[in-house]
Amino acid sequence: MTYQSQLPNTSRSGAARVIGSPAVRTASLLALCAAYIQGPLSKIVDFNGALAEMDHFGLHPAPLFAVAVIAVELTASAMVVSGFRRWAGGLALSCFTLLATFIALRFWEMAPGMDRMMATNAFFEHLGLAGAFVFVAAFDLTKGPGA
């Protein structure tokens, strides 16, 4: 017997109404995309900092990479939150997250210690985030008409 089947139908339908409401759905998608909205806005406000970040990770030419990162994060986030080709935005953010994770969180190259442990945790958290975006894309592609 699954946990879901143990819930009374009234509890399940009430939870479905709340969790499935447009407000909760929008708030959840905004939360999922929060880092991909805040990050590029910070890069725009402090473009020299964005260039320094690109240089730090060996991404050259730094201005081209900084602009590309800003554009991808903001555009894909807007797609996920708005629902316009949500699947494509989700897949873009998943791929972006995986690529950035393998560039920025190379814990296997670090000496043992607190920094390595923190980078390891962040690496696997980002894998989970990438998986969540694949889930968003899959749900968007497989939902029924009118859903």
- Tens digits of per-residue pLDDT, 97-125? 999 999 999 999 999 999 999 999 999 99
Region of 21 on the Ramachandran plot (φ > 0 left; ψ -120 to 50 alpha; else beta):
beta
pLDDT in the model for residue 146: 46
Residue 24: pLDDT over 50: yes
Q: Map residue 143 onto helix, strand or coil.
A: coil
Q: What mean pLDDT value characterizes the chain?
A: 93
* Encoded amino acid at 26, one letter: T
Structure tokens at 68: 């590309």
Cβ atoms of residues 124 and 118 within 8 Å: no
Residue 35's pLDDT band, with cuts at 50, 70 and 90, is very high
Dihedral sign, CA of 65, 66, 69, 74? negative
Residue 46's pLDDT band, with cuts at 50, 70 and 90, is very high
**pLDDT > 90 in the chain, percent:** 83
pLDDT in the model for residue 144: 53
What number is the average pLDDT over the span 38-67? Answer: 98
